Structure 1
Amino acid sequence: MTLSPVALGIAAALASATAYGINIVYARMATQQGVSAADLVFLRVFLMLGAVGILVALRGRSLAIPRAGRPAVLALGVASAGVGLAYFFAVSFVPIGIAAIIFYTFPLLILLASPFVEGGRLTLHRLGVFALAFTGLAIAIGPGLGGIDIRGIALAALASMLAAWQFFMAARAGRQAPPALLMFWSHIVIMPIAGTAALLLGGIGWGAIGHAWFASAMTVAGYLLGFALQMVAARRAPAALIGLVFCLEPVVAIIFAGLILGETLGGAQMVGSLLVLAALVASSLAELKRETPSALAAAAPSDVR
């Protein structure tokens, strides 16, 4: 049985959210071992550009982006740089749970903005499912905010706003170019931003990266896989639906933070995680049933080959 474009988009979004969830745990580990968040962003961008450049060259494709798609690709790069820097710096100041519950308000921002950006409407079902997912996140993470570093809170909030912008720009740019070109050119934009941030913080700390090589490598690997799958998802499913699916990421982060960093998972966290998963399944199934073949064709642009 052939899966519809939206179904493929959901599958890619689920896999991307899982990769990102693991990525942030290792990013926190790396920063605890002395690696700067800016260094991690610069390192992963450097490797991403090399990998995508080789892939495009081997496939013999042009790197040209249609003129109409260039503003969206530029905006995608700026948003992606901001998300990476803000979120990585946030988890260097506050625990993953605190950063995640703030960062994961971005699906709500997507839902609120979607009718104005994509022309949809805010249905009671979508709002109800998101309310269930957000309640699950609050229960799962839920530590008190007393004594939390305000810098981490502000950076996580900034990352949330930029993530909502990133999803819409990825969807818009995806109508003009395939994922490989989006990854290449958006990272061309990210590179100088991350490099400037690293230089302002004293330059690339290769010694610290070498010391924390495993955590740094896992951070980069999770990002490369997550970003590639995110671009695939953005071309095949509406941004509002992808945003809901990405509620899985903090659940993955909580689970792996417990396994890798020793953060204990309590009963409330388990209950909250199950609520998020229930909301994700309900929203995905409802969207797949609601979309007609003609609506799917309109929502998902054809591949550019």
Structure 2
Amino acid sequence: MQNVEAIGSHGTPAPVTPDARTPVSNRARGTLLIVLASVAFGSSGPLAKPAMTAGLSPEHVAAARIGIAAVLMLVVLAVVRPALLRVRKAQMPLLLGYGLLGVAGVQLCYFAAVARIPVGVAMLLEFTSPVLVALWVRFVRRTVLPAMMWMGTVLALAGLAMVAQFWQGFTLDALGLLFGIGAALCSAAYFLLGEHGARAHDPLGLVTWGLVVGAVAVCVIAPPWTMPAEILTLEADLGPWHPPVWTLLVAVAVLSTAIAYLLGTNALRHLPSNVASVLALLEPIVAITLAWALLGQSLTVAQIVGALVLLAGATLVQRAASAQPTPADPQP
């Protein structure tokens, strides 16, 4: 979901119109979708890093990925489901929350955090969102979660800490830590709002308009006309390839944003948010693996062990979830 450097009836048609053909929950399908979404989200760092090395700021990369993805999804929606282009007033809170928090908020808070604290620390803070989701489900929804699910969540976070290697170059910066916590809160909101919205409404419309809202918000921070156009045609270093920078931005927008959000939101039609958020911890594993393969960045023994620990924790969560009934259209 995030741009993680490896160094969330009848009547007037609307974009999130309730789907009368609400799918039967299928945990296996949901698991496959969230794994594919994590792979897509995890590709963002290795694809975007060469563009930033060429001279683009992280904020401009975020604005480009979300803006291009929003335009692409609007075109797709206009062709395949034009009725979903209409918006009803009652649907605006969900769209605004999903777009501002689940799309723009995660990106902006993460980039603000990495500007002040090490990337590993920022990554660890952002991906504490499964704990926040689990606490929300337990104490706000008053759903009792099995002990194995809590154990798996803690184990997965311990593995993430090893993958992120947060202890390297750690310096305390209060504002940076606050931005990291903000990224975690926004990421948790992505799962909770996405779970509610995807099960009650059409995910295609929800993702499209969420990206549009997110693009507007991010472009306020980094207006497109301030992007140095001369950098877009420069050659970037991506392993043995040297594609122009603009192609990397398109790839991040299509694969790591539009497709990733569609896969992740559709997964939330089949998995509870607390389960999906833990399985999404596969994203940093994908990020560091691709960075090793494409950018020549090294993998330490601690990171490899951490990846195995993380996978073990995610497996525990998935096994615990398989014994639990899937809630129908949960409220965020």
TM bin, normalised by shorter chain, reads 0.7 to 0.9
Q: What residue is the counterpart of 2:98 in the other structure?
A: 76
The 8 Å contact of residues 6 and 300 in structure 1, kept in 2 or not, is answered as: no
1:195 to 211, 219, 222: 219
CA contact (8 A) 2:96 2:210 kept: yes
Give, in angstroms, the shift of residue 154 of structure 1. 4.3
Q: Against the structure 1 CA distance between its residues 198 and 48, is the aligned structure 2 distance closer, same or farther, given a 3 Å change threshold? A: same
Q: Size of the alignment, in residue pairs? A: 295
Q: Which secondary structure state, in structure 2, belongs to the residue aligned with residue 110 of structure 1?
A: helix
Q: Is the 8 A contact 2:199 2:268 kept in 1?
A: no
Residue number in structure 2 paired with 1:15: 36
Equivalent of 2:296 in 256, 262, 279: 262
Change (3 A) 1:213 1:88: farther
CA distance in 2, matches of 1:105, 1:209: 35
Cα distance, 1:176 vs structure 2: 3.7
Are 1:272 and 2:281 an aligned pair?
Answer: no
Superposed, 1:83-232 pairs within 5 Å as: 83-91=106-114, 96-146=119-169, 148=171, 150=173, 153-199=177-223, 203-211=226-234, 212-220=245-253, 221-232=255-266
The CA distance in 2 between the partners of 1:91 and 1:287, in whole Å, is 33
Structure 2: distance between partners of 1:172 and 1:68: 15
**CA-atom RMSD in angstroms:** 2.8
Q: Does 1:64 align with 2:86?
A: yes
Other-structure match for 1:24: 45
Gaps of 5+ in 1: none
> Normalized per residue, which structure has more helix?
1
Amino acid at match of 2:144: R
CA offset digits 1:165-202 (Å, max 9, x no partner): 12111122224421110122112211221111013x98
Q: CA deviation at 1:92?
A: 5.7
Q: 1:287 to 1:83 in 2, by over 3 A?
A: same
Structure 2 unaligned runs (5+)?
1-23, 235-244
Does the CA-based 8 Å contact 2:118-2:169 persist in structure 1?
Answer: no
Aligned partners of 1:176 and 1:206: how far apart in 2?
42
Relative to structure 1, the CA distance from residue 25 to residue 53 in structure 2 (aligned partners, 3 Å threshold; closer, same or farther) is: same
For the Cα contact (< 8 Å) 1:237–1:300, is it kept in 2?
no
Percent identical residues:
25
| Residue equivalent to 1:238 | 272
Helix, strand or coil at the partner of 2:296: coil
Secondary structure class of the residue paired with 2:271:
coil
Query: Deviation at 1:84?
Result: 1.6
Residues 229 and 60 (structure 1), Cα distance of their counterparts in 2 relative to 1, 3 Å cut:
closer
Task: Tell me by how many angstroms 1:229 deviates.
Answer: 0.6
Q: Which secondary structure does the structure 1 equivalent of 2:144 belong to?
A: coil
1:29 maps to a residue whose letter is P
1:224 partner letter: A
1:234 Cα offset (Å): 1.9
The counterpart of 2:317, out of the listed 272, 278, 283, is 283
